[in-house]
A and B are shown apart, each in its own frame.
Chain A
Amino acid sequence: MADLKAAFTKSNPEARLNVSFGSSGNFFAQIRSGAPMDVFLSADTDYPSRLIDKGSASRDSLTHYAIGHLALWTSNLTLPLSTNLATVLANASIRRIALANPSHSPYGRASKATLQHLELWTPLQQKLVFADNAAQALQFAQSGNAQIAILPLSMAQARPNSSCNYVKIPSHWHAPIRQSGVLTTQGSQNPIARKFLAFLVTGTGQQIFKSHGFSVPD
């Protein structure tokens, strides 16, 4: 996000961007209640679509800006991440596996689908802990309270260091994580907001997403 902001303000020096990070569900409720936000970037397409259906965002602004991927992250360097991931997840030395809560997080839903694909969702149920969002899943694992976290690849990739290890989870193990953005009713009056959303799908914007662990929509 910092790179996107920097690139955008470079070509639009007059723009002042204030970025709030949080869960899509919370922002949905806040925008519905008239929160002063112009652009809503979600980790899925469902929340923005529902905002449009409720009349709080403009339909023609719906923009698919990136496709997210998952990674398996651990601070336990002895776990052989290069081998079969099902074996890694079922390793007895893992007591807790952290993931974003599938009930409301798009990445959490994909994490659940991945475990279901590996037929580990039910057997590992006792080991799973549900973080409010992906950042908290990482925090659970970084603090050592969980031994493994299932995270957005972008998040795992953003903090490369020698005391942790991650591997990308094959994308066909879960439904594609299509990330979309919309202009809120307030934002559709703001030309800079419209420009920013359009910027995300320009060559420059898409290149930034690619270099941060996303793929770009066709």
Chain B
Amino acid sequence: MNLGWQTNGLAEAFGVTLRLAFTTTALLLVIGIPLALWLNRDRQGKRIWIETLITLPIVLPPTVIGFYLLILFSPHNAIGSAWLQATGQTLAFSFPGLVIGSVIYSLPFAVQPFQTAFRNVPQDCVEVAQTLGASRWQRFWNVELPHAKRGVLGGATLSFAHTMGEFGVVLMLGGSLPGSTRVASIALYDEVQQLNYSAAHTYAALLLLTSFALLSVVNWLNRRGANENAH
């Protein structure tokens, strides 16, 4: 057994996984927070369709998302061909393609905690700030975000962990390219298929430990949030 090669493959696969999780989480913060605020402002329930759409990835098999994205990314279709014109690369089998898939796949795991966090910001604080002449942006930045930061952090951690655990979407449109689309969960699957169970064990154990650690952080944040609200 060539241990050097194995270590390289391991580092490369986890490198791609972490890069994907960080990029996805950063994008989810940028997209998810305004989306959560916008959904929270809906008093008559008119935006319930959007909310449902965003929640879908929780229940949809990842293969459904992967299948539709594969079709959407095809150079035969508008999005795929526009991307190809702009970059000279196909969106399928590329890291940016996986990022798009992951953002969609992890969207509810970010937006839902964000919504809860912003809903729990005491309205009187926001109103006081408004009376004192704070602009919308100042109210968000100095009042709402500091109050909601624990929930936002929890949502970010959860979507990070969820992206690390992604498999079906990547299997459908990744193409298992080392260094760009071969994430740890795919590498594990490939090793199992090759009957390299010892390598598979290493991937599985690392994924298990990382997920456990990340979820512990989420739970710890939730508890601290609950304790503070109770006091």
In the complex, the answer to whether B176 meets A130 with C-beta atoms within 8 Å is yes
Q: Once the chains bind, are A23 and B193 in contact (CB under 8 Å)? A: yes
With A103-B193, A143-B71: A95-B90 Cβ-Cβ less than 8 Å:
yes
Closest CB in chain A relative to B101 CB, distance in Å: 13
Task: Give min CB distance, A50 to chain B, whole Å.
Answer: 7
Is the pair B92, A104 in contact by a Cβ cutoff of 8 Å?
no
Q: Mark A9-39 against chain B: 1 for CB-CB distance below 8 A, else 0.
A: 0000000000000010110110000000000
Q: Which of B160-179 contact A (CB under 8 A)?
A: 171, 173, 175-177
Interface residue ranges of A85-140 to B (CB < 8 Å): 95-96, 98, 101, 103-104, 129-132, 139-140
Q: Does the CB pair B177–A130 fall under 8 Å?
A: yes
Cβ of A144 under 8 Å from chain B: yes
With an 8 A cutoff between CB atoms, is B195 at the interface?
A: yes
Query: Does the CB pair B193–A140 fall under 8 Å?
Result: no
Contact-residue bracket for chain A: 20 to 34
A140 touches B190 (CB 8 A): no
Report A121-165 CB contacts with B as 1/0, cut-off 8 Å: 000000001111000000110011110000000000000000000
Given contacts A95-B90, A103-B190, A130-B175, contact A145 B70 (CB under 8 A): yes
Interface-side segment among B48-56, B72-80, B103-111, B128-136: B72-80
Contact partner, B194, options A98, A103, A130, A146, Cβ 8 Å: A103
Asked whether B203 is an interface residue with its Cβ less than 8 Å from the other chain, the reply is no
Contacts of A95 in B (CB 8 A): 89-90
Given contacts A143-B70, A143-B71, contact A129 B195 (CB under 8 A): no
| Cβ contacts under 8 Å, B175 to chain A | 96, 98, 129-131, 140
B194 touches A144 (CB 8 A): no
Alpha-carbon distance between A50 and B196 when the two chains are bound, in angstroms: 13
Contacts of A101 in B (CB 8 A): 176, 190, 193
B173–chain A nearest beta-carbon distance, Å: 8
Residues of B161-214 at the interface with A, using a CB-CB cut-off of 8 Å, are: 171, 173, 175-177, 189-190, 192-195
Given the complex, which residues of B lie within 8 Å of A23, measured CB to CB?
A: 193
Chain A positions within 8 Å of B71 at CB level: 143
Q: Which residues of A contact B176 (CB under 8 A)?
A: 101, 129-132
Query: Given that A139-B70, A140-B175 are known contacts, is A145 also in contact with B193, CB under 8 Å in the complex?
Result: no
User: Do B195 and A29 touch (CB < 8 A)?
Assistant: yes
> Is residue B93 within 8 Å, beta carbon to beta carbon, of the partner chain?
yes
Task: Report the separation of the CA atoms of residues A23 and B73 in the bound assembly, to the nearest whole angstrom.
Answer: 26
Q: By the criterion CB–CB under 8 Å, are A25 and B75 in contact?
A: no
Helix, strand, loop or mixed for chain B's interface? Answer: loop
- Which chain A residue lies CB-closest to B171? A132
> Contact string, B77-92, partner A, CB cutoff 8 A, digits 1/0?
1001000000001101
Q: Tell me, in angstroms, the Cα distance from A144 to B80 when the chains sit together.
A: 10
Q: Which residue of A lies closest to B173 (CB)?
A: A145
Nearest chain B residue, comparing its CB with the CB of A137: B175
- Interface 0/1 of A192-203, CB less than 8 Å to B: 000000000000
Chain A residues near B193: list those with CB within 8 A: 23, 25-26, 101, 103-104
Instruction: Give complex CA distance A50, B193 in Å.
Output: 13
A144 touches B177 (CB 8 A): no
A145 touches B75 (CB 8 A): yes
A176–B183 Cα gap in the complex (Å)? 32
Q: With the chains together, A25 CA to B200 CA distance in Å?
A: 13
**Chain B residues near A104 (CB, 8 Å)?**
190, 193-194
Give the residue name and chain of the A residue nearest to B84 (CB).
A95
Give a binary string over B110-152; 1 marks a CB under 8 Å from any A CB, 0 the rest: 0000000000000000000000000000000000000000000
Instruction: Report A's interface with B, CB cutoff 8 A.
Output: 23, 25-26, 28-29, 50, 95-96, 98, 101, 103-104, 129-132, 139-140, 143-146
Seed contacts A29-B195, A143-B74; 8 additional CB < 8 Å A-B pairs: A25-B193, A26-B192, A28-B195, A95-B90, A104-B193, A130-B175, A143-B92, A145-B80
